[in-house]
Structure 1
Amino acid sequence: MTGQNGAAPANRPGGAVQGGPCVVVAGGGTAGHIEPAMALADAVRRLRPDARVVALGTERGLETKLVPSRGYPLELIPPVPLPRKPSPELLRLPLRVRSAVKQTRNVFERVGADVVVGFGGYVALPAYLAARGRLPIVVHEANARAGLANKVGARFAERVLAAVPGSGLPGAQVIGIPLRHSITSLDRAALRAEARRHFMLDEDAPTLLVFGGSQGARTLNTAVSGAAGALAEAGIGVLHAFGPKNSVAVQHKPGAPAYVPVPYLERMDLALAAADLVLCRSGAMTVAEVSAVGLPAVFVPLPHGNGEQALNAQPVVNAGGGLLVPDGELSTQKITDVVIPLLRDPQRLAAMSAATRDSGHRNAADQLAAIVLEVMSR
């Protein structure tokens, strides 16, 4: 039997796989679950080059693209979505959980798992249940409010970690979110000139970075593109990632700094380096990344769910590194009244940059990797 990478593992006596210790990461579905898992995987390999890292996922999630592209094997198990309301799906849930747990245990045995690290989502619940009483478990919660899977896993985990205080997981140690090394090592000042050339932005003008993702960009797109004239008049450049499913149309004013619309940011590191201020949503990963690099932010939380996006941004806002604008209040006028004056105040931007950098956790990946290896060594 093979994993998603197509390579059949070489067996050693007892059925386990040859090689160093094996860390299984369970965090599929969305980038918010997958990226911290991959950042941890990279950190584990930095600390223990002989270690093997295997990712669990489902065929539904982004992990089928993101995990192989990072060079890690991916094992697929059945997804176990948890119905939010009574439904026929709820009646079938115990059978689906039992089947997923059985298949997950087969994966653990085949790859020679030594520890399971869960990040929440559809994949984490069967991973926790399959590992219970058999393998040590480490739980990491990225959001301000823990999901059901991590609440279950935390009950029998060796260690419980969280990105911010108040996640709802008792005894959780706050370490931040594991981030890619390319982000935590980013020197924005050193890369600024290269980044602006890359995006064909004005070398000296105050520059606004805008991104909201394919699902949540409409409000941001409408407000910022509508303020294009005012931004140009104020001498402000714009790098606007409007989302691959969306579009914007703006007219460039001759002599004004460039307004550069792009569907997607292939080089997020350069985008962060090019900007003086970012206007964005406040998903947990977004908040962690802009904080780690010291980029001042105007956060516009998605108005859906349980309000967790506003909670994600609150520590940075409280520290003075960002502003919070409710989705319903973001408008072209708000860009003119709030964002433009802020971009024209370099002293305030510098103070916000220092504040947001101090509120971040740049070493979370290495810290989590050390905890995982310590738990495994027991």
Structure 2
Amino acid sequence: MTQPHPAPGAAGVPSGARPGPHVVLAGGGTGGHIEPMLALADALTRRTGSTGGDAPDLAPRVTCLGTARGMETRLVPARGYDLRLIPPVPLPRKPTVDLLRVPGRVRRAVGETRALLTELGADVVVGFGGYVALPAYLAARRAGIPVVVHEQNALPGLANRIGARLAARVAVTVPGTPLRGAVHVGMPLRTSISGLDRAARRAEARAAFGLDADRPTLLVFGGSQGAASLNRAAVSAADALTAAGVQVLHARGPKNTDVAVPARPAGAAPYVVVDYLDRMDLAYSAADLALCRSGAVTVAELSAVGLPAAFVPLPIGNGEQRLNALPVVEAGGGLLVADADLTPGWIAAELVPLLTDPARLAALAGRAAAAGARDADERLADLVLGVVRP
């Protein structure tokens, strides 16, 4: 259940303090929606201060909306935030008979969500797209509550295209995202990433993964579940990489236990295979270059920490992963290779020379960092609080 603000004069709360606004965040289903939502929640709860007069304001209160079937049921409570569940409204990608059922589902979900927003006393609703956001946008509009939309991808989904038409403000991660009135703020990131000093953590990180302290290092990962094409290409290029003195940290994915590399000879560069990386801050710190997909959060994190990458966009979908990576690649902070073109030969011809050229790597890293945004969480928090009515 949502907990009320402590009353002014309670322990640790200044007498006369004004209650902070109640911000309701709608983003569920995938990590691409949930992670920026939680990063914004953290930025909001760090806020205290005064907007006028002598009495300070309490930090904003945050409630997250989600559905019973999404990752938010695990991730949101683990970060200490209240989660309230609403009915999901999945939107068919193609015209099917299921499309006829959508209006009824939307009406029911909007009605329940509006009642919940009234119960919570919401001052603003912030949506991150997906099937949680659409009923939240419509319910907020009916209740007269201002809406802020944040779009993570270069190509917005249906929920955010609708939400942008109702919103007081629209924020985007990728410049040029086609939403009316959009402001580029970047991707809100958790502070363990946005505040990361890779150089300062490098020795610690390489030791944690059993890597040598001074060898050039390639990080291979394909998201939380791994990516079969990246796994095949990297493992097949293992000999070329390690023979050139390049060590590898490879997250194969928990379901890809058949991915393995024979032990390297004594004194050779290590090739370390793990199922999953639960400390991305250490993985980024250990690496000089990444070979990875180009989901919105991945691109934003890599550029924020200044880690260049060879991006391999997912070959299915609407092409948004390629567009996510383009601003960094065009800025000179990374490479782009089609999934079909990612071969062991390509890795040997393109990545081995790069990884063994410290000056080129340093130049790529500098341009990647210049394309990134470390303060997107604070910029989005400013935008959100700016639409709250006094």
Partner SS, residue 192 of structure 2: helix
Q: Which residue of 1 aligns with 2:272?
A: 260
Q: Calculate the TM-score normalised by the size of structure 2.
A: 0.91
Tell me, yes or no, if structure 1 residue 97 matches structure 2 residue 109: no
Give how far 1:116 is off: 0.3
CA contact (8 A) 1:118 1:127 kept: yes
Aligned AA (1:348) = R
Kindly state the Cα deviation for residue 357 of structure 1 after the two structures are TM-superposed. 0.3
Paired letter, 1:221: N
3-state secondary structure, aligned to 1:139: strand
CA displacement at 1:278 relative to structure 2? 0.5
Following TM superposition, the consecutive aligned residue runs of length 4 or more in structure 1 with deviations greater than 3 angstroms are: 7-12
What SS is found at the alignment partner of 2:214? Answer: coil
Q: Give the Å deviation of 1:141.
A: 0.7
The 5-angstrom pairing of residues 133-212 of structure 1 reads 133=142, 134-212=144-222
CA RMSD of aligned residues (A): 1.7
Equivalent residue in structure 1 for 2:93, among 69, 76, 84 = 84
Change (3 A) 1:37 1:323: same
TM-aligned CA deviation for residue 240 of structure 1: 0.5
Paired letter, 1:362: R
1:192 Cα deviation after fit: 0.3
Note if 1:63 corresponds to 2:72.
yes
CA contact (8 A) 2:170 2:182 kept: yes
Deviation at 1:335, TM superposition (A): 1.0
Identity of aligned residues (%): 63
Name the structure 1 match of 2:28. Answer: 28
**How far apart in 2 are the matches of 1:342 and 1:144?**
28
Q: Residue 156 of structure 1: CA displacement?
A: 1.4
CA gap of 1:96–1:9, structure 2 versus 1, over 3 A, is farther
**Structure 2: where are the runs of 5+ without partners?**
8-17, 49-57
Q: CA deviation at 1:214?
A: 4.5
Following superposition, the deviation at residue 10 of structure 1 comes to: 8.8
- Match for residue 226 of structure 1 among 229, 236, 239: 236
Within a 5 Å distance, the mapping from 1:274-293 to structure 2 comes to: 274-293=286-305
Structure 1 residue runs without a partner (length 5+): 13-17
Report the TM-score when normalising by structure 1: 0.94
Match of 2:249 among 228, 231, 239: 239
Aligned match for 1:334, one of 333, 340, 346: 346
8 A Cα contact 1:216 1:302, kept in partner: no
- In structure 2, how many angstroms separate the alpha carbons of the residues matched to 1:377 and 1:37? 21
1:90 deviates by: 1.0
Q: Which amino acid aligns with 1:160?
A: V
- Tell me which residue corresponds to 1:40: 40
- In structure 1, the partner of 2:324 is 312
1:213-250 Cα distance to aligned partner (Å, 9 max, x none): 25551000000011111111111111101111112110
CA shift digits 1:23-44 (9 cap, x unpaired): 1111111100000000000001
